[in-house]
Amino acid sequence: MSVETAGRPVIVTRPMSHRRREFRRAIRSMVQAKWPVVAALILICVAIAAIFGPWISPLDPNRQDIMMRLADPLTEGRRNAFFLLGTDGLGRDVLSRLLYGARVSLLVGICAILVGGTIGVIAGLLAGYFGGWIDDVIMRLGDIQLAFPFILLAIMFLVILGPGVMNIIIVLGVGQWVTYARIVRAQTLSIREKEYVEAARALGDPTFLIIFRTILPNIIAPLTVIASFNVASVILSEASLSFLGLGVPPDVPTWGAMLADSRDQLMANKWWLAFFPGMAIVLTVLSFNILGDWLRDFLDPRLKTMA
């Protein structure tokens, strides 16, 4: 006796995991909004330039060619060199420097967020979970820092510490922690009283496990929004500091430093020197901002009207 039911084979679909379903929903919403897709593509290009700079850049970014100083874009040089975006005052290839410049911008942007995010998340968790004087001290420190124009602090520290990628990352990173701390604290305060935290406590989990394994995973989502806006503003700050000559050593090409160099040629109207690095900054920062906007709408549609 067969047990075939209704003569039709049963189609066994593997249940799509929650994570995968979320991912599909995200992609769909992204495509619907259009601009985030463009932003993501731009950022992928920037990331490729940052990672593969040495392999894809046509020339050595520091190679000077006195004969080819201030060449217009689309100029052909000697020995098969072709200057798609022209050369600067020292005869260096603008395109190559632009590609290398992506490195510092992305590296500083992402690492500073990691530094600031880590400090901020830990501070916020502690403040929110324990409350009391710990909370007071941490949040008061944050108030002081926010009440001070941050770029001035960065200038002072970098003048004293001297230039360098590491110093910039630390200074810009420390500058960001308050934002994270505030949000994490608010979230922790509300989650602290939830049943599942109560349960973990009742089961006798050690406090630090409760904080990092029970609470932290539940507050990650809003942080990604802040992080993407933050990368944008850190990249802008890095460009400003490089422009002031406080960035990385001069032999490392950065977009901000390229703009600073372009000032010498301002009167000569060599527009490409300022135009391209500036556009690189604008497109990168804009992309992060657009992604941040989309991410916020996606994660919390209630916030849609907020700027």
Residues that bind other proteins (CB under 8 A): 140, 143-153, 155-157, 159-161, 232, 236-237, 239-240, 243-246, 256, 259, 262-263, 266-267, 269, 271, 274-275, 277-278, 281-282, 285-286, 289-290, 293, 305-307
Q: Which is nearer to other proteins, 127 or 246 (CB)?
A: 246
Contact 66, 74 (CB under 8 A): no
- Angle at the Cα of 152 (from 146 to 158), degrees rounded to 5? 120
- Angle at the Cα of 238 (from 237 to 243), degrees rounded to 5? 95
**Residue where the block lists tokens 């770029």:** 151
Q: Which is nearer to other proteins, 148 or 212 (CB)?
A: 148
Label residue 131 left, alpha or beta by phi (over 0 means left) and psi (-120 to 50 means alpha). Answer: left
- The neighbour count for residue 216, using CB atoms within 10 Å, is 18
Smallest distance from other proteins to CB 245, Å: 6
- Rounded CA-CA distance 233/270 in Å is 28
Smallest distance from other proteins to CB 238, Å: 10
Smallest distance from other proteins to CB 193, Å: 28
| Token pair listed for 159 | 């003048």
Contact 105, 231 (CB under 8 A): no
| Token pair listed for 171 | 């200074």
Exposure of 168 in the CB half-sphere (CA atoms within 13 A): 27
Q: Which is nearer to other proteins, 218 or 240 (CB)?
A: 240
Q: Which is nearer to other proteins, 175 or 222 (CB)?
A: 175
DSSP structural state of residue 8: -
Smallest distance from other proteins to CB 274, Å: 5
Strand extents, DSSP E, the chain: 75-76, 82-83
Smallest distance from other proteins to CB 243, Å: 6
Smallest distance from other proteins to CB 155, Å: 7
**Residue where the block lists tokens 């349960």:** 199
Q: Which is nearer to other proteins, 24 or 140 (CB)?
A: 140
Q: Which is nearer to other proteins, 155 or 191 (CB)?
A: 155
Q: Which is nearer to other proteins, 98 or 210 (CB)?
A: 98
Amino acid occupying residue 258: M
Smallest distance from other proteins to CB 290, Å: 7
**Residue where the block lists tokens 């490195």:** 103
- Rounded CA-CA distance 232/290 in Å is 10
Amino acid occupying residue 214: T
Smallest distance from other proteins to CB 183, Å: 16
Smallest distance from other proteins to CB 273, Å: 9
Q: Which is nearer to other proteins, 29 or 145 (CB)?
A: 145
Q: Say if strands 75-76 and 82-83 run parallel, antiparallel, or are unpaired.
A: antiparallel
Q: Which is nearer to other proteins, 62 or 145 (CB)?
A: 145
